[in-house]
Homo-oligomer: A and B are copies of this chain.
Amino acid sequence: MANIQQIAQKAGVSVATVSRVLNNATSVTPQTRHKVEIAIKELKYEPSMLGRNLRNSESRLLLVLLPSISNPFYNEIINGIQNTAIAKNYNILLCETDSKPERENIYFNMVKNKLADGVISMDPTVNMQKLNELAENHPVILCSEYEEGGSIPYITVDSELAAYQAVKHLIKLGNERIALINSDEKFLYARLRRAGYERALKEFNLPIRDEWIYHTKDLEFEHGVQAMRMLLQSEEKPTAVFAVSDTLAIGALKAINGGGDTPNPIAVVGFDNISFSSMTNPTLTTISQPMFKMGSLAADMLMNSIKGDRVESIVLDHELIIRESTMG
């Protein structure tokens, strides 16, 4: 692979001139430019990002940290990030941590080592202490999951309010025994959604029973199935369920359908409005987050932060999407 020296030699100019042509910066004669361009074509030259980045201390690469791409929730967010980043000549790299700290470290190092200019973390399992350390010297944005009272800018929705509205919807439909399928409450969103759930129940003087609150290990379908099976075995069966993720809700639907006999069907509300949620039978009532917009704004925030601007956190609006799973 040719380097800038060889181009300079071939074109009979200095490396500085070649660099000028590449960055179409200051004055270069059309003739000289032409000579250089010819040389570049003939030698199929491609400038080395390593040399360039080393000198410039920038890579125009953004890291996007996520625990696992298997949750479709991230799809649209990523699209939003990518669209906005590309428009400003940045590129993104998706980094799946699989919730493993070692992997996290590797990606953090990429930033410290100038291989990437900043990070958008969507990983609720991220080691917050390390991320905060990183954020002291490098641009970091939190997307969706965030740290209450922390110093890293974030973009998210109001999980407590959304959960409250979801549960209120179930109450308005006449349900009095409402279960919660939650994930691990070490995650902020899980605590907030539980708080919203409890607020709605309290407001209507409905019982909050531990028996009706199930915590799953992660957000895979199977855990939704398991959770629902457990709930169906409680002494007083719940008549409705709020799950903190569509994936869990879909698992719950499966368990309900699979039960065979459905004397009085159980209403289900999910969270995220993943594309699959309109493919289930029944289709799933859920909370929709403006995912594309969230990603897009997160990218803007990060690029502004890289520029050196101060950025403010943002809370976006959500929406309750009513579908068949709460229509009896």
Instruction: Enumerate chain B residues within 8 angstroms of A254, measured Cβ to Cβ.
Output: 279, 281
For residue A48, CB closer than 8 A to chain B, the reply is: yes
Is B49 within 8 A of A113, CB to CB?
yes
Is B279 within 8 A of A221, CB to CB?
yes
With both beta carbons as reference points, the residue of chain B lying nearest to A137 in the complex is identified as B1
Instruction: Enumerate chain B residues within 8 angstroms of A109, measured Cβ to Cβ.
Output: 46, 49
For residue A132, CB closer than 8 A to chain B, the reply is: no
Query: In the complex the two chains form, what is the Cα distance from A82 to B68 in whole Å?
Result: 12
A239-254 with Cβ < 8 A to chain B: 250-251, 254
A75-116 with Cβ < 8 A to chain B: 75, 78-79, 82, 86, 91, 93-96, 98, 102-103, 106-107, 109-110, 112-115
Interface residue tally for chain A (C-beta within 8 Å)? 49
With both beta carbons as reference points, the residue of chain B lying nearest to A91 in the complex is identified as B106
Is B98 within 8 A of A96, CB to CB?
no
A253-280 with Cβ < 8 A to chain B: 254, 257, 275-276, 278-280
Query: In the complex the two chains form, what is the Cα distance from A74 to B50 in whole Å?
Result: 30
Query: In the complex the two chains form, what is the Cα distance from A254 to B93 in whole Å?
Result: 34
- Quickly give the copy total for this chain: 2
Query: In the complex the two chains form, what is the Cα distance from A69 to B106 in whole Å?
Result: 22
For residue A174, CB closer than 8 A to chain B, the reply is: no
With both beta carbons as reference points, the residue of chain B lying nearest to A221 in the complex is identified as B279
Q: Which residue, A46, A94, A114, A225, has most C-beta atoms of chain B within 10 A?
A: A94
Bitwise interface map of A from 12 to 25 toward B, beta carbon under 8 Å scored 1, else 0: 00000000000000
Cross-interface CB contact of A78 among B69, B106, B251, cutoff 8 Å: B69
Query: In the complex the two chains form, what is the Cα distance from A91 to B48 in whole Å?
Result: 20
